[in-house]
Amino acid sequence: MIRTPLRPLARILKAREAGENPDAIERENIRLRHEEMRDRARMRAEGRLLVMGAFFVCAFAVIGGRMGVLANSEPAEPRTGIAGADILAQRADIVDREGRILATNFETYSLYAQPQQMVEPERAAEELAAIFPDLKIERLKKDFTGKRKFLWVKKKLSPEQRQAVHDIGEPGLLFGPREMRLYPNGKLAAHLLGGASFGREGVHAAEVIGVAGVEKYYDKRLRDPSMGHKPLQLSIDLSVQSAVERVLQGGMMLMNAKGAAAVLMEVQTGEVVALASLPDFDPNDRPRPPIKGEKPGDSPLFNRAVQGVYELGSVFKAFTIAQALDLGLVNPATMIDTKGPLRFGKYRIRDFRNYGNELDVKTVLVKSSNIGTARIAQMIGIDRQQDFLKSLGFFEPTSFEIVEAESGKPLLPSKWTDLSLMTISYGHGLSSSPLHLAAGYATIANGGRLVKPTLIKQPKGQMAPRVMSERAAGQTMQMLRSVVTEGTASFAEVDGYAVGGKTGTADKPKPSGGYYEDKVIATFASVFPAHDPRYVLVVTLDEPVETTGSEPRRTAGWTAVPVAAEITRRVAPLLGLRPEIEPAPLTGITLTSN
């Protein structure tokens, strides 16, 4: 910086020549220097004030913005959990074999309250109780006027309910977005789908988890982000499932039954095309499990087709005869002693009516002779009977892809005696589920290869282990067709669709021991078309009574068979089966396979 001298020599000399006082020049320069220093100091101070002012403006803007964000945020009570763990709400869809939606997600809102922000908490409680009749007004008033800072009011809201709450105009009532599980078909396939509920919950999201059925069995798969939310495709056909349920519901009402179940299965792959259990429920509003003291079997949550294990009666005769044919012990024309009653100690085995002293094997099945079947079982023996039923899957729960299947374990006799050998041969003394029975009949229908029921579409051409010879399976199928054309299942005949099958009527056991005289489980296991088996249908009615005649009738031929026939009539076209004339048997030629 260049400083100007206070007494510049040139000006001093001029001042002296002019007779002026040189000190005045020095004083003037000092004044000017001081003014310059003052101006610089003021400018420096003003600059600092400007910078400080800008800093405070920015700081207050940041603080004000943050306060605004916090004011508009949604409060939540502290929750224990892993720091930084996000709630995964998205869940993959479930579709049927044709890609039609069975379960999907729906965007909705939850309702929660922040009582400290409420203006009129008591009025808000009254308004909410009017919108949601299940809420108790006294409880709401207590919560809204207490010390709580946060509470859930409703976990799921419809758009109409949300608008009604919004119209209350209470600032302490707030909404949180979330996804819920939606079953657009209502009760359809309810026992297969099971249902879902909320796991971890926050005000911005809720975790959707499976609680039963397929939803729980495949819970990890449905929630896995790495799957890209690819839908889970089941073997169920939505149209067929609807037809089966509607006919079964009508049949249950007409036959005055307590409950009913039906299984429709492909014989080659074991794919379950339809499975129904009645009474049922709506998975959108899943009922509570039965409380202590209630019978699980009386709950609509109980899956009779999978969890229900019953003595299914004479439908088991097909397995006894198929094994005897496979072992070469008999052929369809072998004569069997049916003179009765068959005595074993203090027990007596009788037929429904007297069929004479002897019948051939085919007629034993057609007439459903208990004595004849017991005689054949004696030829087989205990060990071979156990091995055969075990190979068919009657000793363990099915590997069906719903969590309830684990509880459907067959009930076996504690001691497999000679009496057990005979009674099990015609379906008493061993309890199994309708699903077990369907898999067993599918094994016969496909030529003797083991069938395991499944809910997932299977690739074609898989070779399962062989359980019986193709010859024995084919001969058994011909006999099952004769049961419909000549025997106890004549009501099962459906024009254009040759049906083969076997009836079974079993007395229900009493909890205290023994059997009821007027309560039965009526079952019809059928295969269609019998000459080219494609599907197995099992229908079971719990305590049916057919009352159109002069006396009540409970046997399967009068109850389960007509219901199964109507199901076949309805679903066969939906399955792509065209009506056709059944091929006539070839004279002099015995078919050895189907």
Which amino acid, one-letter code, is at 46? E
pLDDT for 18: 79
Token digits for 32?
């000017």
pLDDT of residue 79 exceeding 80, the answer is no
Instruction: Report the pLDDT value the prediction gives residue 40, as an integer from 0 to 100.
Output: 87
pLDDT at 228 (0 to 100): 73
Residue 319 tokens, joined = 């397995």
Residue-wise pLDDT tens digits, 145-184: 988 889 989 988 888 999 999 999 999 999 988 888 999 9
Asked if the model's pLDDT at residue 85 lies above 50, the reply is no
Helical (H) or strand (E) element with 316? none
What's at 515, amino acid-wise? Y
CA-angle at 441, arms to 439 and 447, nearest 5°: 105
Residue 295 has pLDDT above 60, yes or no: yes
**Inter-residue contact 262 to 540 (CB < 8 Å):** yes
Q: Confidence band (pLDDT; 50, 70, 90) for 5? A: confident
Question: How far is CA 14 from each of CA 3, 22, 23, 588, rounded to the nearest angstrom?
Answer: 21, 9, 13, 158
DSSP 211: E
Alpha carbon distance 312, 431 (integer Å): 7
Percent pLDDT > 90 in the chain is 66
433 DSSP 8-state letter: -
Query: Of 67-71, 556-560, 588-592, which gets the smallest average pLDDT?
Result: 588-592
pLDDT of residue 266: 96
293 vs 10: which has the higher pLDDT:
10
Of the ranges 99-113, 200-214, 273-287, 477-491, which one carries the lowest mean pLDDT score?
200-214
pLDDT for res 513: 80
For residue 594, pLDDT beyond 50 = no
pTM comes to: 0.80
User: pLDDT (tens digit, 9 = 90+) per residue, 350-392?
Assistant: 888 888 899 999 999 999 999 999 999 999 999 999 999 999 9
Asked whether the beta carbons of 255 and 544 are under 8 A apart, the reply is yes
The structure tokens listed for 243 are 């037809």
- In whole angstroms, what is the distance from residue 458 CA to residue 268 CA? 10
Instruction: Please give the Cα distance from 364 to 318 (Å, whole number).
Output: 10
92 DSSP 8-state letter: -
| Predicted local confidence at residue 514, as pLDDT | 82
pLDDT at site 88: 54
Q: What is the pLDDT of residue 522?
A: 96
Encode 338-406 in three state secondary structure.
CCCCEEECCEEECCCCCCCCEEEHHHHHHHCCHHHHHHHHHHHCHHHHHHHHHHCCCCCCCCCCCHHHH
User: Phi/psi at 326 (nearest 5 deg)?
Assistant: -65, -35
Given a contact cutoff of 8 angstroms between Cβ atoms, the answer to whether 262 and 276 are in contact is yes
Pick from 463, 470, 498, 460: which is nearest to 585 by CA?
Answer: 498
* Cβ proximity of 121 and 143 under 8 Å: no
pLDDT digits (tens, 9 = 90+) for 93-114: 999 999 999 999 988 888 999 9
CA distance 515 to 508: 6
pLDDT score recorded for residue 23: 78
Task: Spell out the SS3 assignment of 482-539.
Answer: HHHHHCCCHHHCECCECCEEEEEEEEEECCCCCEEEEEEEEEEEEEECCCCCCEEEEE
Assess contact for 351 and 363: CB atoms under 8 A. Answer: no
- One-letter amino acid for residue 388 of the chain: F
Tokens 């459907």 belong to residue? 408
pLDDT tens-place string over residues 142-155: 989 988 889 989 98
* pLDDT tens track for 440-493: 999 999 999 999 999 998 887 678 899 999 999 999 999 999 999 999 999 999
Report which of residues 463 and 186 the model is more confident about. 186
Q: What is the pLDDT of residues 310-334, one digit of tens each?
A: 999 999 999 999 999 999 999 999 9
* pLDDT top residue among 588 and 375: 375
| Residue 83: per-residue pLDDT | 38
